Amino acid sequence: MPKHTRPTIVLLTLASLVFIGTAEATSTLAADEIPLLGKAQRDGRCANREAYSLALHGGTARFPNTYETGVAFIKKLLAEAGPALREGATSVDIVHRAIRAMEDSGVFNAGRGARANQAGVVEMDASIMDGRRMNAGAVASVKRVKNPISGAKLVMERSPEVLRVGPDAEDYVGYRGGAIVDPSYFRLSGLTFNDIPLPKDILMAPPNAETSQAAATYSGIWGGVLNGAIPILLIVETVTDQGARVVFGNGFDPGSNILEGAAGRYEARFDLGALVFDVDNPAKAQMRARRTEDGLDVVFNLANGFRLTTTLQKFEELPNADRHGTVGAVALDRCGNLAAGTSTGGFGSKKPGRVGDSPIIGAGTYADNGTAAISSTGHGEYFMIHVIVHDISARMKYGQQSLKDAAYDSIHRGLTRAGGRGGVIAVDKNGTVTFAFNTPGMVRGFVTHQEAPSVGVYKMQPR
């Protein structure tokens, strides 16, 4: 049992000394300050074989032209991580360092800048798995751990448990030397829940202008916060004199829980978790919108008679419009060892205490030296129920499928048929990288011993 074969404190102290000399203060991919276990890790080198690979993801994607920051950040990370792997960094080390850098960047829905839950609090989940030792660690619902992926790694390496949650997990991470910060650290100075004032006068009238004028006035992607707490996207796709077609996004991650509803004359049916719009009784459940100088004033009358109002801004003008999803990393090192990790602020505007797939081994993260290392992003409930990333490994192990076929089938047959949306990045024991997703895109990139860093959002597959 890997959990019970930990080296002594003396070895850990020696390992710390090795790493003090290699700290790279200015690099995005800073050196690992947490002592690693295992001979290769103690040596800080892993260079027996030629092949190495690293793939990263920054969440699923829906809208064009809003991912530059994440793509650029992933490209920079790959440019630093490729040489580190070539020089012998271990897969666990590189997965941890890459995810930690993404958590620190403020660019993703992980660590600093992660999306808040319905109570307005950033509540994070993360996991990491070492495919050589079949060892794993995870934290869930943490609000004060600066780097949830480092917390997960501490749980993997220093505790007999696999998953620790909530304030007790925070205390454990702090006790083991992980950085603990005030919850305010995670909130960026951009748009926050209370930044969008609620309009005093609710404007109920639909446009009565000419259709083409109305379309020009309303069409586009609008974002804002409902009821001071619930981030939403509203995509007004078409406007005719018969009404409008709108699409709702629950949260600022454009790839997240998008719910489509045919709209009559600005009446629609959506289920946003806590919010239910019911067209069976249109008089009570309506959405109305009016363009004003300040943006798009909207009012939602809910089925229960409750009314929500807000002013939405053009999505591309929102301060955090270019921030996006969950992050993940998978790697093969030059010892032939695989590792995977995932970190998130969670799906949509999740309910407090909701835990998704990202910290669940087999659903969000999995690594087995005999098959592959896999990290997922998307609607976590589906990834948990269908144990998607373990399913990919099992297809390879028991069905002798290739990584590419296994990932394709698991996403495009399993997940899609179940009604779930999302994707995975994966690397097998030979260093073959693959991506599979059923969303329009996934922010992702990879580097191997043979291929220079490559990043993309929509169509891109390694050769």
Contact pick of 44, 58, 59, 431 for ligand ASP (by CB under 6 A): 59
Looking at the Cβ atoms of 207 and 414, the one nearer to ligand ASP is: 414
Determine the size of the site formed for ligand ASP (CB under 6 A): 14
Output the furthest CA–CA distance in the chain (Å, rounded). 78
Structure tokens at 227: 């009821």
Is 123 a binding residue for ligand ASP by CB under 6 A? The answer is no
Is 58 a binding residue for ligand ASP by CB under 6 A? The answer is no
Contact pick of 70, 151, 336, 356 for ligand ASP (by CB under 6 A): 356
**Cβ contacts of 1-6, under 8 Å, gap ≥ 24:** 2/130, 2/133, 2/134, 2/135, 3/135, 3/159, 3/160, 4/160, 6/37, 6/157, 6/158
Annotate 123-138 with b (16+ C-beta within 10 A) or e (fewer): bbbbbbbbbbbebbbb
∠ CA 274-276-282, rounded to 5°: 160
Looking at the Cβ atoms of 249 and 325, the one nearer to ligand ASP is: 325
Contact pick of 378, 431, 441, 456 for ligand ASP (by CB under 6 A): 378
Looking at the Cβ atoms of 127 and 358, the one nearer to ligand ASP is: 358
For ligand ASP, the binding residues in 399-458 under the rule CB under 6 A are none
Cα→Cα distances 248→115, 132, 146, 254, 316, Å: 17, 43, 32, 10, 16
Is 326 a binding residue for ligand ASP by CB under 6 A? The answer is yes
Residues in the chain: 463
The stretch near ligand ASP (CB under 6 A) out of 184-192, 258-266, 354-362, 454-462 is 354-362
Contact pick of 63, 252, 277, 347 for ligand ASP (by CB under 6 A): 347
Looking at the Cβ atoms of 115 and 395, the one nearer to ligand ASP is: 115
For ligand ASP, the binding residues in 305-324 under the rule CB under 6 A are none
Annotate each residue in 148-167 with x if it binds ligand ASP (CB under 6 A) or - if it does not, as one string. Answer: --------------------
**Cβ contacts of 278-287, under 8 Å, gap ≥ 24:** 278/302, 278/303, 287/246, 287/263
For residue 325, give the nearest of 54, 56, 137 by alpha carbon.
56
Is 231 a binding residue for ligand ASP by CB under 6 A? The answer is no
Is 91 a binding residue for ligand ASP by CB under 6 A? The answer is no
The stretch near ligand ASP (CB under 6 A) out of 170-178, 225-233, 302-310, 339-347 is 339-347
What kind and span of H or E run contains 393? helix 388-399
State the pairing for strand pair 135-142/163-165.
Answer: parallel
Looking at the Cβ atoms of 37 and 424, the one nearer to ligand ASP is: 424
Binding site for ligand ASP (CB under 6 A): 59, 253, 256, 325-326, 344, 346-347, 356-358, 377-378, 380
